[in-house]
Structure 1
Amino acid sequence: MSLLGQPAPDFTLPSSTGENITLGSYRGQKHVVLVFYPLDFSPVCSMQLPEYSGRQDDFADAGAVILGINRDSVHAHKAWAADYGIEVPLLADMKCDVARQYGVTVDERGVSGRAVFLIDREGVVRFEHVEAKPSEYTIRPEVVLSKITEL
C-alpha cells in the first residue's frame, strides 16, 4: 500500500519530550520526516536514529522536523535517547496503530518495520521508503534531505 501523493494519516502520540505530538500541528509550517524503526536499543536502530538526530540542524535549515516512531514506551525512549544522544522526539506507538496506518507493521513480531516518510507542509506524503527487511538501513538522512530540496 503506497501513500505517495496521498494525505498523510494524522495521529497524536506521546513523546520522549514529555508532550503529545500531533502530526497535523505541523501542517502549513514544516515538512515532517517520519522515521519508523523496530526497537530502541537494537543494533541497527542505534545507528539510524542517532544519525538522523545528528543531522537535525540540516533538516531544520530545510524547514523540516524529524520524528522517530516505534512501539516502545516513552520511558524506554527517554532512556535510549539519553544513552545514545538522540535529541529528536521519539513517539510511543505502543499498539502499532500508527505503523498500521502507514502500512509498516511487522505483525508476526509486533513491531513496526524500518521506513521513512517525507510529508510536505500541506500534509501530503511526497516520499516513502519501506525497507525490505527491518535489519536493512539504506535511506540515510542525506537522501531525505535531497528529497526536501525537490519540494
Structure 2
Amino acid sequence: MSSILAAGTAAPDFTLRVTPDQSLTLSNLRGRPVILAFYPADWSPVCGDQVTLYNEVLPEFHKHKAELLGVSVDGVWCHAAFARDRRLHFPLLADFEPKGEVARKYSAYRANEGICERALFVLDRQGVIAWSYCSPIAVNPGADGIIDALENLTDETNGHGQFENAHHEK
C-alpha cells in the first residue's frame, strides 16, 4: 500500500471526465465537503460492494452537504455502464488518460498494476484534506470513517460559528 496524502494537505485540484462530453473540476466544489473515493476497477467484486454501499448511505453524506465522487482509471463508457448497472446516484470520474494522473497526485496509484489504491479522502470546505484512509485492495473500507470525518467537520464548523458569535457579542 502506498502512503497517500495525509490530513492537513491541500487537495490537488483536477478536472476529469464524468461523461464523454462533461467534465468536473474539483475546485468548483469549494464551499462544501467532498468525499473522494478512489477504487481499483468498476467491475471488481469489492469495488461493486463498496460503491453500492456508498450509494445506500448517500443520504447520510448529503446531510453533511457533502459531495461524493468515485475515481478510477476506467474510461467514461465503462463508468456509464457500471453506474447504470448499480443504479448509482453520484458521479464516477475517469482518471483514464493520462492514466492515473490524478491518483498519482494523491499518492494513490499502483504503477505496477496500473490501478488506483482503495483510498478515501474527505476534503473540508476549503479544499484541504481533513481525513484520508487507504484500505487493502481486497477490503471494503465501509463508510464509518467517512461519516466520522464529516461529523468532525460539522462539529468544527458549528464550534467555530459559536465562537465567532460569542466573540462578536462582547
TM-score normalised over the length of structure 2 = 0.83
Give the number of equivalent residue pairs: 148
Tell me the residue number matched to 2:83.
81
| Root mean square deviation, CA, Å | 1.4
Q: Is residue 104–residue 112 contact of structure 1 (8 Å, CA) maintained in 2?
A: yes
**Of the two, which has the highest radius of gyration?**
2
Tell me the residue number matched to 1:49.
51
Tell me the residue number matched to 1:114.
118
Q: Which amino acid aligns with 2:53?
A: E
Find out whether 1:147 has 2:149 as its counterpart: yes
Whole-Å separation in 2 of the counterparts to 1:19 and 1:64 = 21
Q: Which amino acid aligns with 1:136?
A: V
Residue correspondence of structure 1 range 1-150 to structure 2 within 5 A: 1=3, 2-16=5-19, 19-28=22-31, 30-94=32-96, 95-131=99-135, 133-138=136-141, 140-150=142-152
Say which is worse superposed, 55-64 or 118-127, in terms of deviation.
55-64
Whole-Å separation in 2 of the counterparts to 1:19 and 1:59 = 24
The alpha carbon displacement at 1:3 in A equals: 3.0
State the secondary structure of the residue aligned to 2:12.
coil
Structure 1: runs of 5+ lacking an equivalent? none
State the secondary structure of the residue aligned to 1:9.
coil
Structure 2: runs of 5+ lacking an equivalent? 154-170
State the identity as a percent. Answer: 35
TM-score normalised over the length of structure 1 = 0.93
